[in-house]
Amino acid sequence: MKLTDKVALITGSSQGIGAAIAQRFAAEGARVVINYNSNPDKAKEVLANIEAKGGTGFIVGANLGVVADVQRLISDSIAHFGRLDILVNNAGIEIHAPFWEATEADYDKVLAVNAKGVFFATQEMAKHLMATKRPGKIINMSSVHEDLPFPNFTAYCMSKGALKMMARNLSIELAPFGITINNIAPGAIQTPINTALLNDPVKLTALLGQIPLKRLGTTDDVANLAVFLASADSDYVTGSTYLVDGGLTWNYQEQ
């Protein structure tokens, strides 16, 4: 087991990629904090799966777009398990709209969860690790769209571009404290964030045509990478982004 005795908080872990990571981390021996925003029942299902396999978890509700919630999420996690070793900034949202129709409320919502929440969760985590003089690992769920354009999702792309620079900056600033930070950049993964796409056979077929490995990713594909980045196997790795996209990003082909 790669994460024995570690305590990990995974934001947005009641469903999708976050739920898979929480379950994998628990299977690797970590005690995990499961966070939900709006659906406590799904968080309870994730916890029940973990406990059925002999793992340990704790559920905290918090909206990552609200800094006071983020601070409470970190402090409740530390109060419950005594410490945190790993933070996975997984919670994220996207809102489809042509650029000229995007509203201020949509912009604020996307940037609040995807960028501000990550910034302040990481800040709280760094302060905790520095105060207790312990190393730690921070993993951000970015996207292939920290680099690749995604028309109709400009605010989303801006938030993921922000995570790219955040990881690069903090790899330098937090290194003296033994804290590493890396991004995972998933491509098209079968999760609730992709419900519209999964229900649109035309768009889905077009997308599959662009993925060299010819399938959507699974949440386990992403969780496998997260285990590596959370474990001692990645101790010399910081400031990097890891694509898990079936080859999507580099598949430009001139016909």
Chain contacts with ligand BGC (rule: CB under 6 A): 94, 143-145, 150, 187-188, 193-194, 197
Tokens, residue 168:
């690069």
| Cβ nearer to ligand BGC, comparing 43 with 185 | 185
DSSP 17-62: HHHHHHHHHHHTT-EEEEEESS-HHHHHHHHHHHHHTT--EEEEE-
Q: How far is the CB of 199 from ligand BGC (least distance, A)?
A: 13
| Cβ nearer to ligand BGC, comparing 57 with 117 | 117
What's the CA gap between 167 and 179, in Å, rounded? 11
Helix axes of 16-27 and 40-52: crossing angle, nearest 10 degrees: 20
Residue number of the CB atom closest to ligand BGC: 143
Contact 245, 143 (CB under 8 A): no
CA distance readout (Å), 125 to 92, 122, 132:
18, 5, 11
Q: How far is the CB of 37 from ligand BGC (least distance, A)?
A: 17
| Cβ nearer to ligand BGC, comparing 113 with 188 | 188
Q: Are strands 7-10 and 57-61 parallel, antiparallel or unpaired?
A: unpaired
Q: How far is the CB of 229 from ligand BGC (least distance, A)?
A: 18
Q: How far is the CB of 189 from ligand BGC (least distance, A)?
A: 7
Q: Which of 36, 107, 156, 252 is catalytic?
A: 156
| Cβ nearer to ligand BGC, comparing 115 with 188 | 188
Verify whether residue 156 is a known catalytic residue: yes
What's the CA gap between 237 and 255, in Å, rounded? 37
* Residues with a known catalytic role: 156
